[in-house]
Every structure is written in C-alpha cells, then in structure tokens.
Amino acid sequence: MSAALQRCRGSELSAATLYELLKLRVEVFVVEQNCPYPELDGRDLLGETRHFWLAGAGGEAISTVRLLEEHHDGEKAFRIGRVCTALSHRGRGHSNRLMAAALAEVGQHACHINAQTYLTRMYRTHGFTVSGPEFLEDGIAHVPMLRAARP
C-alpha cells in the first residue's frame, strides 16, 4: 500500500499534524543523528511555509519535507529543508516522492537547500548543483545546493 501524500501551508496545520511532523523530525535529526539543534525556528506555522508529508497506515508521519518561500536579490525563491524519513520506512523512495511534490510547487523559481553532504547525489537527480563549499552545521557536514530559476 502506498503512503498517502499530504500537503498544507503552515497556517493550516492542525496541532495534531504539527506534532506528528515535529515528532518525526526530532526522532531523525535529534535522536538518531545525535544532533541537538534548534528545531523550533518559528517558520513552521507561517502562511508561506508549505509542508509535505507521507502518512502511514495509522496516520502517522513517516516522511516529510518543508518548503520555505524566500526572496533573493528581490526575486521570489524557495528553500527546502527538514527532509527526513523514519528509519523503518527508508529505501522506498519516500524522500524522492516528496521532493518531486515540493519542486512541482516551486515551479520555475530558484530553490536552495543545505544538503547533508552524503545526500548530494540524490539532490542532483532533482536538478540541484553544489553552489558553495562544504560547511559544518550542528556538527554535520553540509553543502549548499541550488536548483537555478528556469526561464
């Protein structure tokens, strides 16, 4: 059975859904990757923030992506982040499915991501290229990547 794709803006999230998304992100980034970081950054509930997730059979979030609307040099752009899948659901293409959904919403606009270095190959399949040097974020190696605006 395929997991149900869900999408909504931050201002439309129910408390239960927000809890599910935050729970998954904390399980992956804080607990599994042993990386305490400021998960609550104030951007999840903004009207221009979009959340994409896959719900399991019990309605729990099993994979998620957050899409932020930004402006760079006066141009509308987007930033993808908080890409994660529950350990027990990996290897099934969930992150790729969510990336495709988020990028469909991005359309022809530029899109940025700070990718964990080991995932650059996956992001390249979605049209991203490395756009700067590797850096440490919360003790984990990342690289900035960009999918340039398209005419």
pLDDT digits (tens, 9 = 90+) for 96-109: 999 999 999 999 99
Model pLDDT, residue 40: 86
Looking at per-residue pLDDT, the higher value among 117 and 139 belongs to 117
Model pLDDT, residue 1: 53
List the domains of the chain with CATH numbers. Answer: 4-147 (3.40.630.30)
Rounded average pLDDT over 122-137 = 95
Rounded average pLDDT over 19-46 = 88
- Between CA 100 and CA 71 the distance in angstroms is 21
Q: List % helix, strand, coil for the chain (3-state, nearest 5).
A: 30, 35, 35
37: nearest Cα among 86, 106, 100, 84: 84
